Amino acid sequence: MRWVAGIKVSVHGKLLAGYLLVTLLVIGMGAMSLQTISKMSTQSQLLDEAHERVHWSQDIQHALAMQMNFTAMALLLRSETTVENILRENNRFNNTLARLEKAAQPEEVELIQRIRAAQGDAITTVADIANLIRDGKIADAMRLQQEKQYPLYRRIEEFVTQLVLRESNKMDQLRASVAAANRSTLILMAISAVALMLVALLLGFVISWSFILPVQKAHGFVSEVAKGNFTATINVPNRDEFGALAAHMNHMSQELQRLYEVQHRASQELQRLNERLQQASKAKSNFLANMSHELRTPMNAILGFVEMMLDEIYGEVPPQLREPLTDVQTNGKHLLRLINDVLDLSKIEAGRMELVLAEYSVQDVVEIIRTSLQSLALEKGLEFVAAVDDDIPLAFGDGKRITQCLMNLVGNALKFSKHGRVALAVEQQGKTLLYRVSDTGIGIPKDELENIFGEFQQVDTAITREFSGTGLGLNITKKFVEMHGGRIWVESELGVGSTFFFTVPLRVETSEVT
Amino acid sequence: MSGKTVLYVEDNEFNLKMVRQLLARTAYRLIEATDGELGVATALREIPDLILMDIQLPKLSGLDATRRLRADPKTAAIPIIVITSFALSGDDQKAKDAGATAYMAKPYSPRELLQMIRKLLPEQ
């Protein structure tokens, strides 16, 4: 099989060669039987001929007997005319003998010539007998007949019998030879048929397995590659199409292995970079946590001492000092808000901001906003309305971040409105909470609406100075809303007012939080 | 001077000074420690009536110090106010988990801190 597989001939060529070989063997077998048939037919022709010669010999014997008979009749009847019958029989004898001679085997020719010679003598004797009868010398004729003609005929008879015997022997031999040829042909044909079958089977087996083996190996190889073993190789002895296919497959697995290694190196590189990035991110996160406290500790002292002064813990505050002390306090608080916002934003950007998920009451959140900002609204002479349905159930999310968002939005609304009203409303819409903060403030120009949630995006710096915002509140609010899986948007008309909307799920799915 | 004792564990001298001045006009007696380990040692030695614990301290963090005091039967029952970095960042939950009685976000208002101390530990 390996040998057949290794022959450098195409599959097509191998199949053709196999069929051709079997076909040639069949043709060979046919030729052999044709030859046998022709030999047998020759022998049977020889047999026919021998049979004919025997027939002729019997004819000759018959003619001879008739001659004897007519001679006897001529003697008995003393009739010369009977001699003519003898001559007629003699002619028949000679004709038949001539035919026999023509068909005779070389070894018989001598015997036939002796028969002819003897017959010649016998006819001369018959002529003599006829003459004696005509002359009335019957006794002489009878003697001649008795002494000469009869022995002659006996000799001829003997020769013919020998001839017949020879032919008979020959015929026996021929028959035996035909029978033997029959037998041997039968055996030969049987052996040939069996051999042919075996050759055909062997060829079929060898050729088909020389195809099946590489296919089986290819199957194993492809399974290995499919399992991810790209170092697998396929090794077939075939130098035909299967061999070419196997070579291509090996090339393919080498290429896959190369690609796999390239990709593996790339992914290792990526992993290393990722680890470094995580380390950097962790370092940044630690830095933020430390900074957060480090910045607040001095702020704590500044704001604390000012508050204690204003609370007159150190004694009475002279009226002219009260205003500058209050200015220090106001700016200190603004600086603190900035610090808080910058730190929140940094944490969000670093991906270190995590929501603290728990159940919270929407009503409580609204109440905190109302109590915290009521005084600011009163100071500015604004109407502040906070409305929330009592039947909104407990929500799940980061209540403090939601509070921070509303503090930013309501704080902005109060800051940017000089008169009129600020309203906060919460509605439940199915599984979503819709928060709405509307004001009667200065409004936002249309071309600024898109940028309003970006970083440091207060509409103009003069307003920033006047209203003293950090410029980070809306950006942080947007990010917290999105971390909850919600959405924020604004509708506004210049000089009429703005309404900010945001939605958050009533119950945040833990997996939704990013 | 049989006033009740308040221990303030804080490493910033100005904050210490501020609370010292805040409590100077009250009946409370203030003792101080400037790192976590000193804070634990002082608490075990003095057995104060209330502890103010800053969350970020040298040597031993305020949360770890709180856990140690809660684990010791001598100090387990003392009210502890943990001063957290920022009330909104989840520190309050960590403080509660460590065993804090209450927490106060920094920067705190001295007025509010005094209110909280008085609520947990009546002055008289």
Sign (positive or negative) of CA dihedral A233, A234, A239, A242: negative
Contact criterion met (CB < 8 Å) for B90 and A301 = no
Average pLDDT, chain A: 84
**Mean pLDDT computed over A255-263:** 91
pTM for the complete prediction? 0.50
From chain B, the residues in CB contact with A298 under 8 A are 12, 14
Q: How far apart are CA B54 and CA B9, in angstroms?
A: 6
**Other Cβ atoms within 10 Å of A151 Cβ, number:** 13
Give dist(CA A380, CA A93) in Å, integer.
Answer: 170
Angle, vertex CA A410, rays to CA A406 and CA A415, nearest 5: 145
| Closest residue of chain A to B56, computed from CA coordinates | A293
Say what the pLDDT of residue A467 is.
47
Would the CB atoms of B18 and A308 count as touching at under 8 Å?
yes
Which amino acid belongs to residue A213? Answer: L
Provide the token pair at A493: 């008309």
Q: How far is residue A91 from each of residues A95, A126, A274, measured CA to CA in Å? A: 6, 14, 132
B120 touches chain A (CB under 8 A): no
Identify the residue with better confidence: A62 or B86: A62
Residue A332 neighbours by CB under 8 Å, 6+ apart? A299, A302, A303, A306
Mean pLDDT of B2-17: 88
Mutate to test the interface with B, among A290, A311, A313, A314 (most CBs of B within 10 A): A313
Cα A171 to Cα A45: distance, rounded to the nearest angstrom: 11
Looking at the predicted structure, is the pLDDT value of residue A192 above 90? no
Written as one letter, the residue type at B116 is: M
pLDDT, mean of residues B80-108: 78
Q: If you count residue pairs, one on A and one on B, with CB atoms under 8 Å apart, how many are there? A: 64
Q: For chain B, what's the residue count?
A: 124
Q: Is the confidence at residue A466, as pLDDT, over 50?
A: no
Confidence band, pLDDT 50/70/90 cuts, at residue A458: very low
Encode pLDDT of A37-72 as tens digits.
888 888 888 888 888 888 888 888 888 888 888 888
- Which residues on chain A are in Cβ contact (under 8 Å) with B14? 298, 301, 305
Look at residue B93 in the predicted model and tell me its pLDDT: 75
Determine the distance in angstroms separating the CA of B74 from the nearest CA of chain A, rounded to an integer: 30
Identity of the highest mean pLDDT range in A45-54, A58-67, A409-418, B30-39: B30-39
Q: What is the pLDDT of residues A325-338, one digit of tens each?
A: 988 988 888 888 88
Alpha-carbon torsion angle B5, B11, B16, B19, nearest 10: -60
Is the reported ipTM for this assembly greater than 0.90? no
Inform me whether the pLDDT recorded for A456 exceeds 70: no
Contact call for B21 and A303, based on CB within 8 A: no
Parallel, antiparallel, or unpaired for β A395-397 and A358-360? antiparallel
What does the alpha-carbon distance between residue B40 and residue B62 come to, in Å, rounded to a whole number? 10
Q: Which of A166, A257, A261, A190 is nearest to A32 (CA)?
A: A190
pLDDT tens digit string along A209-228? 888 888 888 898 889 888 88
Cβ separation A296–B86 shorter than 8 A: yes
At B62-74, the pLDDT tens digits run: 889 999 998 989 8
Region A421-446 average pLDDT: 88
The alpha carbon of residue B100 is apart from the nearest alpha carbon of chain A, in Å, by 19
Residue range A484-497, pLDDT digits in tens: 888 998 888 888 88
A21 has pLDDT over 80:
yes
| Residue A466 structure tokens | 């006047």
pLDDT of residue A84: 80
Task: Break chain A down into helix, strand, coil percent, rounded to 5.
Answer: 75, 10, 20
For the cut 70, the answer to whether the pLDDT of residue A455 exceeds it is no
Q: CA of B41, closest CA in chain A: separation in Å?
A: 24
Q: What is the structure's pLDDT at A286?
A: 72
Strand, helix or coil for residue B85 = coil
Question: Reading across the β-sheet that carries B29-33, which strands appear in turn?
Answer: B29-33, B5-9, B50-54, B80-84, B102-105
Per-residue pLDDT at A266 exceeds 90: yes
The residue-averaged pLDDT of A299-322 equals: 89
Cα nearest neighbour of A398 on chain B: B88
Q: What is the mean pLDDT of residues B2-30?
A: 89
B122 close contact with A: CB closer than 8 A: no
Question: Among A75-79, A245-249, A257-261, B99-103, which stretch is predicted with the lowest mean pLDDT?
Answer: A75-79
B85 CA: distance to closest CA in chain A (Å): 5
pLDDT of residue A305: 92
Residue window 38-77, chain B: list those with CB within 8 Å of chain A.
55-56
How close A431 comes to chain B (CA, Å)? 26
Nearest CB among A311, A314, A356 relative to B90 is that of A356
Segment A108-113 long-range contacts (CB within 8 Å, at least 24 positions apart): A108/A163, A108/A166, A111/A159, A111/A162, A111/A163, A111/A166, A112/A163
